[in-house]
Structure 1
Amino acid sequence: MTVAVNRVLLAFKTWEDRKKEIEPLFKAGAADAGSLARLQLDHLRQAAYRLRQTVRPDEKPFMLLLNNQVAKLEKQLFPNVLVRLFSQLKDRLLDGPIYLRQQEKQRTQNLEMLKIQLKDAGLGSLNGRLEQHLDPDQKQVILPLDCQLGPEKRLTLDLHFKMDAHGEFQLNQIGGKLMENGKVAKSQEFDLNEWPNLKTNQIWSLLEGRAMKQQYTDATGHENNRWVELGANTVQHYDPNYGFDIRTALDALPAITRNKDELVRYLENGQQVPTYWKQGRSYVSINVQADPANRTISLFDDKLHPTTAEKLNQQIVKQGPKVKVLSAQRTRKGVRNGQHQ
């Protein structure tokens, strides 16, 4: 069971971290003790604004410490009672409400943008949990997601959110694990700066050992595409000029029957696609996936065992000249291991 973070203590810790960043300025004479105390007062007052309405019972004793520290800093900065009273009233009636309105507006916009990003990535099921878990007093949050893929297979994802310099949470990393029979079959950390627009079905495909065509920004700052797959210990990138084209590979295997534009889209997305192998008027069920390493399309039978064109042709000969009725659901809608694009 995860223990809730004490946000009051976290506010003090955050100040200490910030103070360390300011220390070089302090030593260089660009800041004095008064300005440092003023920054600390602003920091703790803002923490008090945020926590006052949501403080938990276990945090209430620590709020006394925060309030005492605020009062101590006010006396230090405003020794004159009237000036101190004016500062407190201004803080309570003007600065505090303005700060809270700005924070609420910024947080709402931030959460809406994250929800759109999660929905596009196939993670829309998390949207209802964001407000609960992305606490503005925490700088980093990890949200777990568990997906059961079958009786013995499971995909687990860890979504890493980090607050940026503007005080907004960004989804900057996804950790993925493919579990089989309770053991980790494959794992990978995906930095979203290097994997822009990464989808959950693509993570699944990569962990299953399939290759996908990845959009990325090259060294010149231009958008480009390259094939990528997970190797034994690292990510295998293929040069953008590497000679593998899905359409050309499909043209070399005309017996694969399905809408070519669909096939190209699904295969480049890293998916394993169910379709048919056709000879004359006879068909057998197959599954296909991209194989950039060998510049071809990998073939699998209806039980997902690797096969070849020769074996499939032999299978058709054995079954005789009977015509197999194609399933509209399989040829038009069935896409294994992925979402429709």
Structure 2
Amino acid sequence: MIINTADAEILLSLAKEMASYKYRYIAYPLTLISDSDTIQFFKTSMHAEDYYLVGPNDIDYFKSMPIDSLVNNLKIVMHSGIDTYCDKELDLTAFARQQMESREILENNLNINIMNQKNLEFLASQIKYTGFGETLDGALKEKMEKGEKEFTIPHEAKFDRGTLSSELSFKKSDQSDLYFFNSYKAILEKEGASHAPEQIFYVSKDNTITMKEAFNLLDGRAVNKDLKNKEGEVYNSWISLDFKNPENSGNFKLNHYHQNYGYDLEAALSKHSIKELETPKFKEDLLNSLKKGNLQSVTFVVSGVESKMHVEANPHFKTVNVYDANLQRINHRESREEKKENALDKKESKEQQKDVDGEPEGGGQKEGKKRKVKSQSI
């Protein structure tokens, strides 16, 4: 349909009015400019077709279309920004199609941009809560904008007992432009160590190992986590790396100590004279720290003397490992002797207090001698 751009507004008003009178189709000339005089309105498609089939050659000169299509095409012209005050011929149907295609491309690009932004935000959040913080956001955005199929981002974290170097791996989906944070490789380097253990930790919705937990695992400690099995059931387990049994993939095997294994961290701690266990808040903090796999500083009290020690969970032997202030391991027997000695001190103190409280005035020595003699006679 060819129209004059200056007639677009008038034609739109006319088409809307005729539609309000329940006219649903139009017939328009193919070789002439369509205007209010040459366009015919009909209530049915049959009447519109009959109009251009009256003469044997009319089909070559007229065509019909739904009135709604005419209204929509004219609206596109009015909202396109084209100058509708000048007399200019315009192929209405072709122009409307081109505008719709351009709009669709823009909307698709907008949707892609929104999707990419949401993907970026999701990955940034995932990186943050896996323990790598927010410093990688810039590198992540730059890598995603390049559109590569796969990419990695390095990260380094320094701890008192070593440096953890990580390489985060990302991959684009085969079905979309979305990227996924699949795994990270962690390497623990310690000064003076001849070997730097490394492990690939896989990132999932429920069973992800955080960066600090990875450090603790590679440093030889166990971590307590709530995990999900293949059936989606939640279970609690201590996990540690089995450095003696590497898998074919190069990863170390993960040892699991489930709830029914019988490791009671609180009971294991109670075998030692740890001051923090006497305060509920400090006790809770200590338990939580050890469950994260940390080597935790504590205060031992032996014979009334306080000393700084360090402890770590040892689910395999259902105990805790104890280290002195210089991080030298104290064997379990020594620790038990300290506990026993401390208990004896408390017992003797109570007995002495009992003797003092039960001693009568003026006759303490005499009664004491009588009890002693009687005891010897037995």
Q: Offset at 1:91?
A: 8.8
Residue by residue over 1:296-321, the C-alpha shift from the partner in whole angstroms, topping out at 9 and shown as x without a partner, is: 0110011111014664667xx9xxx9
Which residue of structure 2 aligns with residue 132 of structure 1?
142
Whether the 8 Å contact between 1:194 and 1:216 is mirrored in structure 2 is: no
Which residue of structure 1 aligns with residue 158 of structure 2?
148
User: Cα–Cα, structure 1 residues 90 and 180, in superposed 2: closer, same or farther, change >3 Å?
Assistant: farther
Which residue of structure 2 aligns with residue 202 of structure 1?
213
**1:208-287 map, 5 Å:** 208-232=219-243, 233=246, 234-258=253-277, 259-287=282-310
Q: Which moved more, 1:250-259 or 1:166-175?
A: 250-259
Which residue of structure 2 aligns with residue 168 of structure 1?
178
Q: Offset at 1:92?
A: 7.1
User: Cα–Cα, structure 1 residues 97 and 251, in superposed 2: closer, same or farther, change >3 Å?
Assistant: same
Q: Offset at 1:90?
A: 5.9
Determine which of 77, 84, 105 is the counterpart of 1:96.
Answer: 105
Amino acid of the residue matched to residue 289 of structure 2? Y
What TM-score do you get using the length of structure 2 for normalisation?
0.55
Whether the 8 Å contact between 1:225 and 1:240 is mirrored in structure 2 is: yes
Larger radius of gyration: 2
Determine which of 119, 122, 130 is the counterpart of 2:131.
Answer: 122
Aligned residues: percent identity?
A: 22
SS state at 2:260 partner: coil
What CA distance in whole angstroms lies between the structure 1 residues aligned with 2:194 and 2:114?
44
Which residue of structure 1 aligns with residue 319 of structure 2?
296
User: Cα–Cα, structure 1 residues 115 and 290, in superposed 2: closer, same or farther, change >3 Å?
Assistant: same
Q: Offset at 1:215?
A: 2.2
What TM-score do you get using the length of structure 1 for normalisation?
0.61
What CA distance in whole angstroms lies between the structure 1 residues aligned with 2:126 and 2:205?
16
Which residue of structure 2 aligns with residue 68 of structure 1?
none
SS state at 1:231 partner: strand
Amino acid of the residue matched to residue 177 of structure 1? I
Whether the 8 Å contact between 1:250 and 1:256 is mirrored in structure 2 is: no
User: Cα–Cα, structure 1 residues 228 and 194, in superposed 2: closer, same or farther, change >3 Å?
Assistant: farther
Q: Which moved more, 1:194-203 or 1:206-215?
A: 194-203
RMSD (Å) for aligned C-alpha atoms: 3.1
Amino acid of the residue matched to residue 153 of structure 1? G
Whether the 8 Å contact between 1:268 and 1:290 is mirrored in structure 2 is: yes
Amino acid of the residue matched to residue 153 of structure 2? L
What CA distance in whole angstroms lies between the structure 1 residues aligned with 2:257 and 2:97?
62
What CA distance in whole angstroms lies between the structure 1 residues aligned with 2:121 and 2:234?
26
What CA distance in whole angstroms lies between the structure 2 residues aligned with 1:208 and 1:117?
24
Whether the 8 Å contact between 1:257 and 1:278 is mirrored in structure 2 is: no
Whether the 8 Å contact between 1:177 and 1:184 is mirrored in structure 2 is: no
Aligned length: 233
Q: Offset at 1:93?
A: 2.2
What CA distance in whole angstroms lies between the structure 1 residues aligned with 2:229 and 2:109?
41
Whether the 8 Å contact between 2:239 and 2:257 is mirrored in structure 1 is: yes
Q: Offset at 1:257?
A: 2.8
SS state at 1:270 partner: coil
Whether the 8 Å contact between 2:276 and 2:286 is mirrored in structure 1 is: no
SS state at 1:286 partner: strand
What CA distance in whole angstroms lies between the structure 1 residues aligned with 2:207 and 2:196?
25
Residue by residue over 1:251-282, the C-alpha shift from the partner in whole angstroms, topping out at 9 and shown as x without a partner, is: 22243535211111111111110111112531
SS state at 2:114 partner: helix
Amino acid of the residue matched to residue 282 of structure 1? V
**Any gaps of 5 or more consecutive residues in structure 2?**
1-90, 247-252, 346-378
SS state at 1:128 partner: helix
SS state at 2:131 partner: coil
What CA distance in whole angstroms lies between the structure 2 residues aligned with 1:87 and 1:149?
64
Residue by residue over 1:63-82, the C-alpha shift from the partner in whole angstroms, topping out at 9 and shown as x without a partner, is: xxxxxxxxxxxxxxxxxxx9
What CA distance in whole angstroms lies between the structure 2 residues aligned with 1:86 and 1:270?
67
SS state at 1:185 partner: coil
Greater relative CO, 1 or 2 (CA 8 Å, sep 6+)? 1
Which residue of structure 1 aligns with residue 5 of structure 2?
none
User: Cα–Cα, structure 1 residues 291 and 263, in superposed 2: closer, same or farther, change >3 Å?
Assistant: same
Residue by residue over 1:127-172, the C-alpha shift from the partner in whole angstroms, topping out at 9 and shown as x without a partner, is: 232211223622222111122336x932110111122344322212
Q: Offset at 1:112?
A: 1.4
SS state at 2:238 partner: strand
